Amino acid sequence: MIKGFFTNNIGLKISSLVVAVLLWFFVILSGRAEISMDIPVTFINIPSKLEVFDSPDTISVEIKGQERILKNLKKNEVSAVIDLEDSKAGRAFFTLSKNNIRLPRTLVVTGIDPETISLKIENQLTKTV
């Protein structure tokens, strides 16, 4: 009876074992993780004669991806980019989305804090000497 348990359907049992081992390796090697990191806020396309004040230097983001990639992720590889092309002088509010975050393609943004930032845009002061 015990001998029959091990010898009946031997091909099916071996293939099941192979699939189980391959699945185990896949889960171990493709380990997913999530980290939180503070990233710099960068402004692009600032209209001439305007300056940005009272803006946050950094925001916090939650990033998900393969654990080995997250471990090697450097702060200079991730940033929040805000386009000020159509901005005018005054107080401005920007709602940040995943589209504002620059990071390696294999990673995904799962959270942004704060989601909205406030900044002051003023005309540049020029001094004639």
pLDDT band at 127 (very low <50, low <70, confident <90, very high): low
Sole residue written with tokens 């943004």: 109
Span 21-61, pLDDT tens digits? 888 877 766 678 888 999 999 989 888 888 888 888 899 99
Tokens of 129: 């000497």
Rounded to two decimals, what is the model's pTM? 0.66
Dist. CA 105–CA 16, nearest whole Å? 35
Domain borders along the chain are: 1-30, 31-123
* Predicted pLDDT at 62: 94
Tens digits of residue pLDDT in 90-119: 898 999 999 999 998 889 999 999 999 998
Long-range CB pairs of 123-126, under 8 A, 24+ apart, other chains included = 123/49, 123/50, 123/51, 123/89, 124/49, 124/50, 124/51
pLDDT at 81: 93
With beta carbons less than 8 A apart as the criterion, state whether 57 and 40 touch: yes
Distance CA(58)–CA(113), nearest Å, equals: 10
Query: What top-level class would CATH report for the domain 31-123?
Result: mainly beta
Element (H, E) at 115: none
